[in-house]
Structure 1
Amino acid sequence: MASASSQIMLSCKNLWKVFGARPAYYFDTAGYQIDPDGLTARLRREGHIPAVVDASFDVKRGEIFVIMGLSGSGKSTLVRCLSRLLDIEHGTMEFDGQDLAKISGPDLIEIRRRKMGMVFQSFGLMPHLTALENIAFPLKLQGVARPEREARAREMLELVELGNRGDALPSQLSGGQQQRVGIARSLSTNPDLWFLDEPFSALDPLIRRQMQDEFLRLQSQLKKTIVFITHDIMEACRLADRIALMRGGKIIQLGTPAEILLQPVDDYVSDFTAEVALTRAIRVRDLARPALGDLPEGPVVPPAAPIEVILPALASGQRQFRVEGDDSLVLDATSVLEVLKRDARHGLGPEGGRG
């Protein structure tokens, strides 16, 4: 069995990013104990901006780790630190066992080119290049021969279901298609770690939902390690294996979507998640429990499915459901009814809005 450490791709401890005249001054003395709240208050009094405050977390191999918060919470600054587009003032970042904060020059460029993929809100496609050429461009920078890089780009076009649009210029593509090309380009080098900073927020709601579906489809095939940034709690709950919720530069709660929705650590998190319909955000596996006695006859439900999928069967009288892939787990109607009561108290229906 693999060790716990081997399951971690990115490990971050006590990260600080501060904007100001001389922020590193406060971190020059080695070995002293930092008081995060006290230091944050002092930095702000003296005109600095503590954008990331004492952030610690691990990103597991193959998981979708979502960093979310409102505008100004520090989430985009944090992901730029993780990709070394910004340097941190204090803390450690280990990427595949390497101290990422200490890597510089050609070695850092090589890691970004070969091991990291990045997608941002602005699609960033080069307007004079076709979709195929945009996707192949990172491989061109690596010195990959033209036949090989174009073959890889065609594979990526097929992966994002744009195989017939390789000759199109960005101006000839819809917003959703442009973002698919951006995603394909970021995957062309087969990165180990994939960063996506609000990649769908500029899209119309329907296209955004379709892109989320596409993203989950791709992840089911590729099993990438992903750090995904969003300000949308429903998007976070739909996509994430785990969520880090930020406020004022700090991570104030870290956990699965179900943990954050059902066990908020404070009133801010509770208010932040109050309008989320749990029937859409909570998944079967979050409420499943070990079976007592014989397994029930009846429906088998996927563990990752939102519990809204079982509501028709529940209404028709079904009281237990078997969980696909695990003969020891069942989902009981009582657990689902508690979730429905919570939504009812908040005036939320299964469709996700106020009733």
Structure 2
Amino acid sequence: MSQPSSPAAISCKGVWQVFGADAPDQLKRALAETGNDARAAARLLRERGLVPAVQDVTFDVREGEVFVIMGLSGSGKSTLIRTISRLAEGTAGSILIHGEDILTASKQRLIELRRNKLGMVFQHFGLFPHMTVADNVGFPLKMQGLNRPDRRKRAQEMLELVGLAGREDAFPRELSGGQRQRVGIARALAVNPDLLFLDEPYSALDPLIRRQLQDEFLKLQAGLQKTSVFITHDITEALKLADRIAIMRDGVVVQIGTPDEIIVNPVDDYVREFTRDVPKGRYSHVSAMMNMPETLPKMPDDPKIEEDMTIDDALASCMALYQPVPVWGRDGKMAGIVHPSQLAGALQVERT
């Protein structure tokens, strides 16, 4: 997991994406008329026939983290990632990538960024059907001017990384959906990008293949530590992959937090509904609910609970005990205590 002190790889401040005639001027006028009240301005824009798809979004993505943006269909998540990567022109705000405002970047600079710093993976693969797998993976390197032998060598390395060694000369039509998505990931990684943008890359795949690719993504991330912005509508996928999650509704980011924070402390009924059927014991951790009292009670039994254990695992270790038990940090020192009743309580399904 990324540490809070990590520098921002991406910084979004007051980002708007409004569709309709004269959107920049209309947005300025609406904000002026409402005293810069974003929600009121959005209502005014809708009354005037415009579509505020992304509204006043502000957040940072830390270096090396997987930042998941999720929401229902129409929430603005895909529009937001297209705006951040400038596949769509933002209406207002600033988007800094390693300190550079890409909303003011020239077309030539955008080409350079996409060739050298940004890797993109899409839901529908986007492979060239007339090219072999190796040529598809090496295509971004061709755009950089790399010669064919070096492109082939790099493509083989990337295909081995994603588990497709030996399929270099196959064509996309000869691969399964999961294999084609692996090719898309290998192509995105071929230029060793600083940032990865993944727009619902697994949503068209069968559940079993999807889980396998999620596991492979986590293995890749553990080794490469790429800064990634990942779009999904699936809360279990978000909880599995994310360092932090931003949940969107109607163009607005309603909560940003770690998977534990989203599960344990949802900000409203919309977020709570997302997590209602999530098996909380599988995704939330002891560290989210332990406390450190001023004086420690007597705890003769120590089932060796660790702060990064899931609640399910912690309960399995201490459910036979009826008193608080210590929680141990990664440094070997006691980080706090937790009572079995707290762990059990966190798993209770909320009644409506």
Fold match (TM-score > 0.5): yes
Question: Which of residues 146, 158, 173 in structure 1 aligns to 2:148?
Answer: 146
Aligned to 1:10: 10
Is the contact between residue 289 and residue 329 of structure 1 (CA under 8 Å) also seen in structure 2? no
Aligned pairs, how many? 342
In the TM superposition, what are the counterparts of 1:76-95 in structure 2 within 5 Å? 76-95=78-97
In the TM superposition, what are the counterparts of 1:1-355 in structure 2 within 5 Å? 7-28=7-28, 33-287=35-289, 299=304, 303=308, 306-315=310-319, 320=325, 323=328, 325-330=330-335, 332=337, 334=339, 337-346=341-350
Deviation at 1:117, TM superposition (A): 0.4
Is the contact between residue 315 and residue 343 of structure 2 (CA under 8 Å) also seen in structure 1? no
> How far apart in 1 are the matches of 2:128 and 2:336?
49
Is the contact between residue 295 and residue 330 of structure 1 (CA under 8 Å) also seen in structure 2? no
Residues 72-123 of structure 1: CA deviation (Å, up to 9, x unaligned): 0000000000000011111011111111110021111100111000111111
**Which one is further off, 67-76 or 315-324?**
315-324
Residues 95-153 of structure 1: CA deviation (Å, up to 9, x unaligned): 11111110021111100111000111111111122211111111011111111111111
State the AA in 1 paired with 2:258: T
SS at match of 1:92: strand
Deviation at 1:262, TM superposition (A): 1.3
Is the contact between residue 199 and residue 232 of structure 2 (CA under 8 Å) also seen in structure 1? yes
Residues 294-324 of structure 1: CA deviation (Å, up to 9, x unaligned): 9986547583x53333443334659747556
Distance 1:263 1:118, change over 3 A: same
State the AA in 2 paired with 1:344: Q
Distance 1:28 1:44, change over 3 A: closer
Is the contact between residue 276 and residue 349 of structure 2 (CA under 8 Å) also seen in structure 1? no
Deviation at 1:325, TM superposition (A): 2.9
State the AA in 1 paired with 2:247: L
Distance 1:87 1:295, change over 3 A: farther
**Which one is further off, 307-316 or 238-247?**
307-316
> How far apart in 1 are the matches of 2:211 and 2:334?
30
> How far apart in 2 are the matches of 1:268 and 1:27?
27
Distance 1:8 1:125, change over 3 A: same
Distance 1:295 1:152, change over 3 A: farther
> How far apart in 1 are the matches of 2:286 and 2:305?
11
State the AA in 2 paired with 1:10: I
Is the contact between residue 300 and residue 323 of structure 1 (CA under 8 Å) also seen in structure 2? yes
Structure 2 spans left out of the alignment, 5+ residues? none
> How far apart in 2 are the matches of 1:42 and 1:299?
57
Question: RMSD over aligned Cα, in angstroms?
Answer: 2.7
State the AA in 2 paired with 1:8: A
SS at match of 1:79: helix
Distance 1:339 1:69, change over 3 A: farther
**Which one is further off, 44-53 or 306-315?**
306-315
Deviation at 1:276, TM superposition (A): 1.2
Is the contact between residue 281 and residue 346 of structure 2 (CA under 8 Å) also seen in structure 1? no
- Sequence identity, in percent? 48
Deviation at 1:168, TM superposition (A): 1.6
Residues 198-243 of structure 1: CA deviation (Å, up to 9, x unaligned): 1111111111111111110000000000101000111111111111
SS at match of 1:345: coil
Distance 1:136 1:250, change over 3 A: same
State the AA in 1 paired with 2:112: E
Moved over 4 A (4+): 287-302, 315-324, 329-333
> How far apart in 2 are the matches of 1:337 and 1:218?
37
> How far apart in 2 are the matches of 1:113 and 1:160?
21
Structure 1 spans left out of the alignment, 5+ residues? 348-355
> How far apart in 2 are the matches of 1:65 and 1:264?
18
> How far apart in 1 are the matches of 2:314 and 2:198?
32
Residues 318-348 of structure 1: CA deviation (Å, up to 9, x unaligned): 97475563223457552x643433433348x
> How far apart in 1 are the matches of 2:84 and 2:42?
21
SS at match of 2:59: strand
